[in-house]
Amino acid sequence: MTEMKKRIKKALEFIVVVIALVIGVLTAKSLSIESMLRGKEEAVTLAMTEEGIAEDYVGLPAADDIPRIEDAQMWEDTWQTSCVTVEPMDIIPTGIGVRNTWVSAYTSSRRGGQRYRADVSQMAWDVFGEYGEYFLIQLPDQSYILAQMSADDAKKIKSGKETVLPIGRKAGVHRQALPQIEDLCREYDANTEGLFYCINDRWNESHDLLVQIVRIGSAFLIAIVLGTILITVVGKIFKEKEEE
């Protein structure tokens, strides 16, 4: 093999390794790891919610008697302490996310110091699932409200599957996110004074490390397998050219 062909081969091997890493990260990011780890959970009834505070039940499966938000007026009348649910007709991603409550505001830098994580971020840059995206969800009366939910629940709705969201409550919208979503909210006439929040913060806080380990491990495994296959293909192509 000539020196030029060797350089081309090494360049191609480097490119396929990068491609394998990107595919591995994107695939691992899309895996429903949280749902797999949580398994099937018992649905929470309205009577059960009366025994505690709303935060105790947010993110847990909703039984049939949990009030469902059917229209914009019902949402306006919902108290922040109420446990409610929604069966969205449609979902629209805003592409903007807020740092999850269980994610530390600081991360270690290469120089040994600490770097502040932004409160709000574009979801395209959220590789490790540190941010919860804002969505617009359509109610049965065709109106839209803001919502935050797990990525797994969002995927179910996007796929067209009928989905009753977990128990949620009315929460505030992050002031730093407002300028980035207000145009879309105005387009769909969605009120920005509150959002439907149905993420189980307590479970995520206690399982965050496990989820990250599984996700990173999955990314590397996918990248190694795919990278090995692609490098083998590159090797065979150059071997066949040499034999010619």
Tell me: the pLDDT tens digits for 15-50? 988 999 999 988 888 888 888 888 889 999 999 998
End residue of a domain, out of 199, 219, 234: 199
Q: What is the pLDDT of residue 242?
A: 65
Q: Report yes or no on 204 lying in a domain.
A: no
Q: Does 115 lie in the same domain as 228?
A: no
Q: Does 151 lie in the same domain as 220?
A: no
Q: Does 141 lie in the same domain as 75?
A: yes
- Residue keyed to tokens 């929040």: 197
The answer to whether the beta carbons of residues 32 and 66 sit under 8 Å apart is: no
Share of the chain above pLDDT 90, in %: 62
Q: What is the pLDDT of residue 233?
A: 85
- Neighbour count for residue 74 (Cβ, 10 Å): 16
Q: Report yes or no on 96 lying in a domain.
A: yes
Q: What is the pLDDT of residue 208?
A: 87
CA distances from 187 to 72, 171, 181, 193 (A): 16, 21, 10, 16
H-state helical runs in 159-198: 178-187
Q: What is the pLDDT of residue 88?
A: 97
Question: b or e along 4-26 (b: 16 or more beta carbons within 10 Å of the residue's beta carbon)?
Answer: eeeeebeebbeebbeebbebbbe
CA distances from 65 to 43, 87, 189 (A): 10, 13, 29
- Written as six digits, the tokens of 87 are 């069966």
Confidence of residue 243 (pLDDT cuts 50, 70, 90): low
Residue 6 has pLDDT above 90, yes or no: no
Residue 193 has pLDDT above 60, yes or no: yes
- Neighbour count for residue 197 (Cβ, 10 Å): 20
Confidence of residue 61 (pLDDT cuts 50, 70, 90): very high
Q: Report yes or no on 35 lying in a domain.
A: no
What are the tens digits of pLDDT across the range 75-91?
Answer: 999 998 899 999 999 99
| Closest alpha carbon to 197 in 175, 163, 169 | 169
Nearest-angstrom CA–CA distance, 126 and 181: 17
Instruction: Classify residue 165 by its DSSP letter.
Output: P
Q: Does 228 lie in the same domain as 152?
A: no
Q: Report yes or no on 8 lying in a domain.
A: yes
Indicate the pTM of the whole model.
0.84
Residue 176 has pLDDT above 90, yes or no: yes
Nearest-angstrom CA–CA distance, 78 and 54: 13
- Maximum Cα–Cα distance across the chain: 78
Domain count, the chain: 2
Q: Does 167 lie in the same domain as 133?
A: yes
| Closest alpha carbon to 67 in 85, 79, 47 | 85
Residue 133 domain boundaries:
40-199
Confidence of residue 244 (pLDDT cuts 50, 70, 90): low
Residue 172 has pLDDT above 60, yes or no: yes
Confidence of residue 184 (pLDDT cuts 50, 70, 90): very high
Please give the mean pLDDT across all residues of the chain.
90
